[in-house]
Structure 1
């Protein structure tokens, strides 16, 4: 008897509470609903949809999202039909697990909305926009479609579109193409103003001063060409000068030797004023001058050639890494430039 009394006194397990019911429509709201119904009966679908769009902006209710989506489907506005029916599904859940209170006959209307949504999706594309920073304004073709992170995809007409994001002065925009019935994920990487890329060299103090001229790139293509080309041209010019100087030095040496032989036969001792001695002295001076010039030219040509090789190595093409923001996932592309 005691056990039976204890069992009877135990509280029964509480049943799962149903989702709260939506408050009844107010007077002005009910009047707008009645007016929209009359317009539908008269076949004025676009006007009825405009009323439900106004109600949606005021109430953000699932029923208004449902009506806007269904009326848009009847108008063959598949882009808006897809957008509002997706919002409706997100708000109500499923017939087996509704998120909000649903009226009788909800399953039938839900299945009809699903069928219309599937048909509408055949005519439009979907863009899943992923932004690196939360709270950024997301724009598609210049129209703001929400704030990151976007919960639902953006439905667009098939073709090429511009997808961008803006936040605190930083902005990014990339092209994205999508086919009818297709879906594409677009990744947008926003870098806040003043942020430096990882590994990027810091600007010099002179460049940070107002009105200062920004320093030229130390490894620009123009500098590479001018440095390597100038050193190579200098090396060639000095090599030619050295060759000419060798030829002149050889000629002067031959003249000097001939003058020396004449001087030995004409006089026993050279002194200024004698033609053979003067010719010998002049030829000897020219031979020494051109010999020194040839040696210097060849040394300079070698140094210039070595400098050209060193410049070609030190100013070799540098690898630049850029982030591709369009595609199924962010990737890295390696590009080289000379």
Structure 2
């Protein structure tokens, strides 16, 4: 859900904050986005009516369909109002880690930081690191994500059991105590799972010695066995950067359009002022005393037109660059080695615009 900055701003007035994203978040396209947006807006309306329980349900539905910054921000604030500090800290932490770099939402950040700090002071945090990538992490038997985990896992003060499992590794676990407002670090080293020995009858070699496991096609003693190369763990695509870049691109486009409209309005005023001076028998090349002030105002208006034009141009270029970056990230291959000649997408930018270039051989 790539909501505009204005929508996020309106949401902030209603619901001033998100937990860690679901492990398998659906792509932010099509019907899922439309339904998520409907849940989101209904949640904001309920929040404005102080119906926090109902708002929580709607915003959680939006989060499950489309876990974005604005949903996290408002859902975290809803949890805060319900005094669910552990969940509030998780959602607000996500929102702050993914805060967009646009001025239009900058004034919302202090509220998020304050409410996160208040919620964080009431709970404990566990910072989990695991030697195996892609391992499933559980806290007290509940799945909290896959490694590497971003940020902390927030829990109630007390003892908690942290576990990590992976099909290719032996399980690892640790019990840790966490104080209120404190942080505990858990480092789990996972050893490769041992291969099950294969039982097979030995056969006689030329010298009469029986070599265990030496059947048809089996390696003879002294012959090196080539190790099997481990398969790389497929890299999961993180859609948060695409969402953030797309949102920033939309904001840049909005700023450019706004500056263009403002510049056009001022330009109309410039034409009207110039015509008024001419109708009064004046001119601004070497204005007479009675037209000095009018000509100065006309010159100032002209400078404003130039300023609006420069800002609009920069905003359009920035919007194009951000959109190109989002597209490049979305199309870039993950978890595989690019072979020679395989097409690749590269973002480009220049003073008059931006775009993408597809490189490759056909």
TM-score (norm 1): 0.47
TM-score (norm 2): 0.44
| Rg larger for | 1
